Structure 1
C-alpha cells in the first residue's frame, strides 16, 4: 500500500495554471483557434523596432494577449517571442526591460514547463544573474531610506523583483539542469532579504521569494545547506508562523499572509532537521509546526462556495484581453492591469492554490513510514492517460462508512485531519466539467481538481499510517468520490480514481471486518481493476480493498464474500477468464488475498464459500505458480 509523496519527478504542470496538453498541436491548429492571429506579426515587428515606446507597447501586448489563451501563446511562440523578449532584457530603455520581464513572467505561469525549458535553453539566466545583485543593492538602499534611493527604486523593488523571482521559481521546477544553474547563483541571501523586509514592502515579492525558497529547498541539498547554515534565516522563517507578526486578521487579511505561513512551514520541513544552536533544533517540525499551522488552512475554505463565487464573477467579467487595436502607444496600459472581477478571481485562485500547497506539505508529513513499493520511474513528463473506449464508466458513487475502532496509535495526531480532507474531496460543478463543455474558468478548474487529488493523497497516507500503526480509525461519515471517463486534458479524473483506490484500501485495512461491503463499491473496484488503463499498482490497490471488504464476518455478507472470492480466483493462473489472465500481475495479490485471509478465518460464516468454491486448491496453485 504505497504512500503518496511529492517528488521532483512528479511535478506540477506549472506553479499556477491549467495544463493545455489536450489542445491540438502545431501552428496551423493554433491559427485556427486564435482570434488574434492578425495581431501577432505587428507585435513582433514593434518589439524589434527602433522606437522604445513601441517596444514597450509590444511587451505589454504579449502580456495582455496570452492570459488564458494558449492558442495565441503558441502562435507567439512560433514567432520566437521568447527569444525576442529575452533580447529586450538588455534593452537600453529600462521601461522596456521591466515590461519584457513581466511578459516573460506571465509566459512562465501560463505556458508551464515547455516555455520555461525554452527560456533556459535561450540563456535567460545570463541577464537574470545581473539583475539579482542590482535588485539586492536597490532593496538595501530603499530600506535604508526611500527618499535617498534611486528614483525608480520602488518600481524595481515592488514589480521588477517580483517578476524576476517568479521566473527563477518557475525555472527551478523545470529541470535538473536549470536547478543546478540556479543553485550556482546562491539565491538564499537574496530571497531571505525579502522575507526579512516583509513589513516594509508589498507582499507580492515577499510571497514570490518564499515560493522560490520552498521549491529550492525541496530535496535540494545546496539550498538546504545554505538555509541551515544561518540561524538568522531559521529565526526569520519561525517568525513568519506568528499570525500577529504578519498582521493577519480572521476575515480581512491579505490571503498572501496565510500563504506565507504555509510556505514558511513547508520550508522549515524541507530543511529539517535543523542543527543547533538554533532553538528550532529541538522542535518536532511535523507535530509542532506543520500540523497545527496547516490544519486550520485546509479547514477554512468551502470549495462549493468558492466555485459559486467564481461563476458569479465570470458573469460580471468583461473580456479580459483588450482589443489590440485600442492599445494606445501613448497611454499603454500596464501589463498587470486587471478589472475588479479579474482581481477577485485571482484572489480566489490564490486562496485555492494555498490550500493545495498546504495539502502537499501535509501529504509529506503524513508519509511517516517507508514506502515498500518505491516508484521505479524517473521521468520528467507528466503522467498521461489515454482515453480508451474500453475504460469503465465510473459514474457510481463510492461511499464508505467508517466506524470507530478502539486502540492507540503513534499517528494519533492524524485522525483530526480526516474530516476537512473529506470535505475537500467532494467535487464541485467546476471541478470536472463534462468533456463536451470546457470549463468557463480553467484556472479555477485546475486548482479545484488539484485540491481534490491532493486531499485524496493525504488521506491515503493517513490511513496507511493508521493501518501500519494498528491505530484507531476516525469516524469519517460518508464520502463521495465521483469520476467519469477520462480524455486528453482530463487526466486528473483518472488520477483521482487511482489515488482513491489507495485510500479505499487504507480505510478498508484499518477497519478490516467492520465495513459493510456494498454492491456498488465492489462493482466500481472490479471495473477499475479490469479497466484497460489499469497498471499493476492500481490493480493491487483494488484487490487489496476488495480483500478487506470481503472480511466482514456478518452472516448477512456471505453473498458479497462469495462474489469477491469468485472474482479474485478468476485472476489466478488457470482461470477461465482469458482477459484477466493476460493481466497476470494481479494474480499474486489475488491468490495471496484469498489464501492469507481465508485460511486464518476458518470459523467465519463465509468459510463455506471458500471451501465450496475450491478456493483452497486455487490458492495453492497461485502460491506454487
Structure 2
C-alpha cells in the first residue's frame, strides 16, 4: 500500500481548469448575497439577448459576462433566469460578432462556475452546437490558409480572421472545461471528434497565434490524461504525433521575445503605472504551450510501445522535455507572493461595471494583466512539476493475475463456507502455519527503474531534485484561503499555489519512493544512494508543512479548504519516503511521532493512513530508536488493532507493522516494550477478530487485497507461535 505513485489525475480531483473554486471567493459571493445594483440590471440585459438588432445581442452577451465575473451569487441569479440556455441559443446566431461574445460568455461561465455550470451546459444541449462550431472553425481555418495574397490584405479577411481566433479560443476552452467537469461530459467531448481541430490549430500555430494554440494545448493535455479513447484518437490521427513533437522541439524564447516587443509597443500611458507588466513578467504563453504539449506526448505514447518506435519518447525526454522542465523549478515563491500583494493594491476597486456600448468581455487593467501573467507562470511551473511526476514514477504498475473461471470462484466460496464456523482465538492459532514454513509470497523485488529518459542518479545528484522540489512545496501566506469567512487577497494566486504545492510534493513522493525501492541489499551501495538524498532537510521541511496546517485544525473540515488535507497527505507521503531511505540519519523527536499519530485522525484516504503506519514502523525499528519512542509507536498500533475497527487496508498495515517491529527478539526494546507490555497476549486475543475482518474482503471485487489479508493472517498466527516458543 505504501508503494503508491502519482501518475494520473482523475477528472474529479482537478480544480476548475482556468479559475478558482467558488468557495475561495468569500465575501458572501458564494452564499447567495447578490449585489442589488446588478440584480436591477439583469432583466433588461436578458431581454436584449433576443433583440432583432445584432448589436444589442452582442452587447447583452458581453454585459452578462462582466456582471457575473468572479461573483457566484450574481451568476446564480442569472442562472435562475436560464441565462445558460439563452446563451447556448445564441451559438446558432447568424452574426459572427454575436457568436464570439456568446461563446466568450459561456466560456467565462464555465471558468467561474466550474463543474456545476458545465453540467448544466451539457444538459441544455451545448454539445450539438459545439459540433457545428467545430466544423465551422475548421473550414474557416482551411479557407483562410488558402486565401490569395490580395484577399489576405482585405478588410473582410481581417475581420474573418479576428472572429475566427476569438471563436476558436472560446470553443476550445469550453471543450477543455467540459472535459474536466465529470465523466458524462468527458464522454460527450470524446464523441465530438475534436482531436482534428486541436491538431489543426497546433499545426497552424504560426498563423493562428498564441491564444488559440495555447487553448488547444490545454485541451489536449486535459483530454489525454486518464482518457484512453481520446489518446487512441490522437495516436491514430494523421500527423498528430509529428505536429506535437514539432511544438515540443520549437524554442519558445524567440516567441516570448516577440510577444514582449509587441506589448512594449502598445504600453503607452500604462508604462509608468505598471512598468513591469511586460519587462519583469514575461507573457509566458509560448512556454506554457510547450510544457503542456510535453505532457501530452508522455500521456499518449507508452515507452517501448509500437507507437514509440516512431516517436522515441526516451530520447525526447532526455534531450528536450527534462531540460525544459528542470529550468522552471527554481522560483522564489515568497518574492512572487509579495509582488502579488503589491499588484492587488493597484487593481481598480470592484463595483458595478460600466456597461457602455463598446464594452468587451475581456477588458483588464494593467495590474490585472500582470497578475494574470504571474498566475500563468505559476501554472507553468505546476504543469512542469506534473510532467516531472510522471518522469519520476520509476515503478511499473502491478497488475493482478487474470482469474476468470467459475470453478475458481466456486472453490473459494466453498472454502469460505467451511470457515464460517466461529473458532476461538487459541483454536485458530493452533490451526495456523508453523513459523518455520514460509507461505508462497511473491514479494516486490523486481528491479525498479525510472522511466526511460532519466536515470535515478541524474535526478538525485545532477539535477538535485529532492531539495528543489521540497522548496516548491513550502507554504506561503497565500497558499490557502484564510480559515475565516474572508476571501484570499488574490484567489487566483491562492488556487494555483495550492496546486503547485501538490504537484511538487507528488513528484517528490515518486522520486523518494523510487529511491527507496532501488536501494540495494549491499549496505555500502545503499549508503551511497541514500547519501544523495538530504533526508533530514526534507524531513524538517515536511514537518514545517504539517505544523502550519495543524495550527488551524478547524480549517481542515471547512468547505473550500480541501487542498489543506491534500497537501497534508502528500507531505506525509514524503515523510514515508525519508523514513524508508535512511531512517538512521533522521533526528526524531517525540513530538514528531505524536504529530504523525495525530495526523491519522484527519486523513480521509486509507492510502495516506497506511503511509503513516509504515513510516512509524520504520522509525520504530531504526538502529538508534529509544525505548520510549518504540513504546509510543507499538502501544498506539496495538490500540488501533484492539480498540478500533480499522478498514481492511489499515488492518493489514497495522499487523505488518507490529510483526516487522517485534520479529527480532534481540532488539534492545523488545524485552521492556513487547514482553513486559503484554503485547503477545493482546495479539493472541484478537486473532479471531482479524480472521473475521479478512474474510469480509470480497475476492471478486479486490482479489489482491484479500490475498494480502490472508497472508498477513497466516503471518500473525506464525508470529504468535514463534514468540511463544521463545518462552519455553
| Short-chain TM bin | 0.7 to 0.9
1:302 and 2:332 matched: yes
CA contact (8 A) 1:517 1:550 kept: no
Q: Specify whether residues 371 and 57 from structure 1 end up closer, same or farther in structure 2 by C-alpha distance, changes over 3 A only.
A: same
Q: 1:569 aligns with which of 635, 638, 652?
A: 638
CA distance in structure 2 between the aligned counterparts of 1:602 and 1:373, rounded to whole angstroms: 38
Q: Specify whether residues 590 and 494 from structure 1 end up closer, same or farther in structure 2 by C-alpha distance, changes over 3 A only.
A: same
Structure 1 residue 85: Cα displacement: 0.5
CA contact (8 A) 2:252 2:290 kept: no
Q: Secondary structure at the match of 2:583?
A: coil
Structure number with larger C-alpha Rg = 2
The correspondence of residues 6-405 of structure 1 with structure 2, limited to 5 A, is: 6-21=8-23, 29-32=31-34, 36-145=38-147, 147-149=150-152, 150-151=156-157, 152-230=159-237, 232-244=239-251, 247=254, 254-273=283-302, 275=306, 279-281=310-312, 283=314, 290-297=321-328, 299-319=329-349, 323-324=352-353, 326-329=354-357, 332-370=358-396
The correspondence of residues 553-568 of structure 1 with structure 2, limited to 5 A, is: 553-554=623-624, 557-568=626-637
Q: Specify whether residues 83 and 542 from structure 1 end up closer, same or farther in structure 2 by C-alpha distance, changes over 3 A only.
A: same
Matching residue of 1:423 = 471
Deviation by residue 1:487-513 (Cα, 9 ceiling, x = unmatched): 111111122212222221122112233
Matching residue of 2:504 = 455
Q: Secondary structure at the match of 2:584?
A: coil
Q: Specify whether residues 221 and 340 from structure 1 end up closer, same or farther in structure 2 by C-alpha distance, changes over 3 A only.
A: same
Q: TM-score, normalised by structure 1?
A: 0.85
CA contact (8 A) 1:60 1:335 kept: yes
CA distance in structure 1 between the aligned counterparts of 2:240 and 2:17, rounded to whole angstroms: 24
CA distance in structure 1 between the aligned counterparts of 2:308 and 2:653, rounded to whole angstroms: 50
Task: Give me the CA root mean square deviation.
Answer: 3.1
Q: Specify whether residues 509 and 169 from structure 1 end up closer, same or farther in structure 2 by C-alpha distance, changes over 3 A only.
A: same
Deviation by residue 1:563-611 (Cα, 9 ceiling, x = unmatched): 22222222232xxxx5x46789744433331221232362446664333
CA contact (8 A) 2:25 2:70 kept: no
Structure 1 residue 242: Cα displacement: 2.9
Q: Specify whether residues 605 and 194 from structure 1 end up closer, same or farther in structure 2 by C-alpha distance, changes over 3 A only.
A: same
Q: 2:534 aligns with which of 442, 466, 475?
A: 475
Structure 1 residue 336: Cα displacement: 1.0
Q: Specify whether residues 597 and 372 from structure 1 end up closer, same or farther in structure 2 by C-alpha distance, changes over 3 A only.
A: farther
Matching residue of 2:611 = 541
Q: Specify whether residues 622 and 419 from structure 1 end up closer, same or farther in structure 2 by C-alpha distance, changes over 3 A only.
A: farther
Q: Secondary structure at the match of 2:380?
A: helix
Matching residue of 1:380 = none
Structure 1 residue 253: Cα displacement: 5.2
CA contact (8 A) 2:97 2:163 kept: no
Gaps of 5+ in 2: 258-279, 401-446, 451-455, 520-525, 691-728
Name which of structure 1's ranges 428-437 and 310-319 shifts more when overlaid on structure 2: 428-437
CA contact (8 A) 2:91 2:129 kept: yes
Structure 1 residue 420: Cα displacement: 2.0
Paired residues, what number? Answer: 580
CA distance in structure 1 between the aligned counterparts of 2:282 and 2:59, rounded to whole angstroms: 35
Q: Specify whether residues 75 and 138 from structure 1 end up closer, same or farther in structure 2 by C-alpha distance, changes over 3 A only.
A: same
Structure 1 residue 116: Cα displacement: 0.8
Deviation by residue 1:287-322 (Cα, 9 ceiling, x = unmatched): 55543332222x14222122111111110110356x
CA contact (8 A) 1:21 1:489 kept: yes
CA distance in structure 1 between the aligned counterparts of 2:369 and 2:150, rounded to whole angstroms: 31
Structure 1 residue 359: Cα displacement: 2.3
Name which of structure 1's ranges 559-568 and 217-226 shifts more when overlaid on structure 2: 217-226
CA distance in structure 2 between the aligned counterparts of 1:461 and 1:277, rounded to whole angstroms: 24
Q: Specify whether residues 282 and 112 from structure 1 end up closer, same or farther in structure 2 by C-alpha distance, changes over 3 A only.
A: closer
Q: Specify whether residues 586 and 253 from structure 1 end up closer, same or farther in structure 2 by C-alpha distance, changes over 3 A only.
A: closer
1:500 and 2:559 matched: no
CA distance in structure 2 between the aligned counterparts of 1:550 and 1:71, rounded to whole angstroms: 52
CA contact (8 A) 1:6 1:360 kept: no
CA contact (8 A) 1:290 1:362 kept: no
CA contact (8 A) 2:620 2:661 kept: no
Q: 2:449 aligns with which of 402, 406, 410?
A: 410
Q: Specify whether residues 432 and 367 from structure 1 end up closer, same or farther in structure 2 by C-alpha distance, changes over 3 A only.
A: same
Name which of structure 1's ranges 66-75 and 176-185 shifts more when overlaid on structure 2: 176-185
Structure 1 residue 459: Cα displacement: 1.9
Matching residue of 1:596 = 660
Structure 1 residue 282: Cα displacement: 6.5
Q: Specify whether residues 34 and 423 from structure 1 end up closer, same or farther in structure 2 by C-alpha distance, changes over 3 A only.
A: farther
Name which of structure 1's ranges 287-296 and 593-602 shifts more when overlaid on structure 2: 287-296
CA distance in structure 2 between the aligned counterparts of 1:113 and 1:468, rounded to whole angstroms: 39
CA contact (8 A) 1:572 1:618 kept: no
Q: Secondary structure at the match of 2:207?
A: coil
CA contact (8 A) 2:617 2:660 kept: no
Q: TM-score, normalised by structure 2?
A: 0.73
Q: Specify whether residues 84 and 147 from structure 1 end up closer, same or farther in structure 2 by C-alpha distance, changes over 3 A only.
A: farther
Q: Secondary structure at the match of 1:10?
A: helix
Q: Specify whether residues 193 and 372 from structure 1 end up closer, same or farther in structure 2 by C-alpha distance, changes over 3 A only.
A: closer
CA contact (8 A) 1:591 1:623 kept: no
Q: Specify whether residues 602 and 513 from structure 1 end up closer, same or farther in structure 2 by C-alpha distance, changes over 3 A only.
A: farther
Q: Specify whether residues 90 and 75 from structure 1 end up closer, same or farther in structure 2 by C-alpha distance, changes over 3 A only.
A: same
CA contact (8 A) 1:598 1:607 kept: no
CA distance in structure 2 between the aligned counterparts of 1:587 and 1:11, rounded to whole angstroms: 27
Matching residue of 2:590 = 519
Q: Specify whether residues 208 and 500 from structure 1 end up closer, same or farther in structure 2 by C-alpha distance, changes over 3 A only.
A: same
CA distance in structure 1 between the aligned counterparts of 2:150 and 2:683, rounded to whole angstroms: 82
Structure 1 residue 47: Cα displacement: 1.7
CA contact (8 A) 1:314 1:341 kept: yes
1:435 and 2:461 matched: no
CA distance in structure 1 between the aligned counterparts of 2:91 and 2:256, rounded to whole angstroms: 40
Q: Specify whether residues 249 and 106 from structure 1 end up closer, same or farther in structure 2 by C-alpha distance, changes over 3 A only.
A: closer
